Amino acid sequence: MGFEYLKALHIIFIVTWFAGLFYIVRLFIYQTETLEKPLEEQKILKPQLDLMAKRLWLGITWPSAVLTLIFGFWVLSYRWGYLELGFMHAKLGFVFLLYLYHFKCHQIFKQLQKGVSKWSSTQLRIWNEAATVLLFAIVFLIVLKNLLDMVWGIVGLLVLSGLLMAGIKLYKRRRQRN
């Protein structure tokens, strides 16, 4: 298979993986909030949210994570020289963190499927933004291919993280007023 086709498939599965990661944590928030509702509402909402989470997690997110990894290594096999460059070490470090994030989401998924919520909805909203920060870091590193630009990128990530935290706090205040 040609390099450009492999790269296209790698990017497609990155997109579907991130879509799954972003949406699964939203479902975690809904599942957690459902567990705080009266029992009659829980009986209606919990089975539906559990089914949605299961289909998303096992049918889209996990397969996308695996295919991203396979196509990523395949693409890298065409560019082994990149492994000597600092930006690629940093990018692969962020990708490793993304897989750790994925595995932690799997742990949360299994707990919520059992009706156990160890995180508040606010904590899950903050957790959801971690994937956003990792996405920014990975994309900027692979596009810019420069560690000096990465320093500016990290500064940008810190600013982005601060803005996301402020947005979450504003949302929480607004929600509490309503």
Angle at 161 between CA 98 and CA 58, to 5 degrees: 30
* Residue that the structure tokens 């890298």 belong to: 76
Q: Which residue has the higher pLDDT, 155 or 121?
A: 121
Give the span between the Cα atoms of 69 and 143, in whole angstroms.
19
Q: Which residue has the higher pLDDT, 33 or 90?
A: 33
Q: Is 91 annotated as a binding residue?
A: yes
* Residue that the structure tokens 């919990």 belong to: 46
Mean pLDDT, the chain, rounded, equals 91
Listed residue (88, 174, 102) closest to 138, CA to CA: 88
- Residue 62 contacts residue 110 (beta carbons within 8 Å): no
pTM for the whole structure: 0.85
Give per-residue pLDDT as tens, 8-48.
999 999 999 999 999 999 999 999 999 999 999 999 999 99
**In terms of C-beta density within 10 A (0-12 exposed, 13-18 middle, 19 or more buried), how is residue 10 classed?**
buried
Query: Would you give the DSSP letter of residue 84?
Result: G
- Residue 145 contacts residue 85 (beta carbons within 8 Å): yes
Given a cut of 80, whether residue 95 has pLDDT beyond it is: yes
Query: What is the pLDDT confidence band of residue 147, given thresholds at 50, 70 and 90?
Result: low
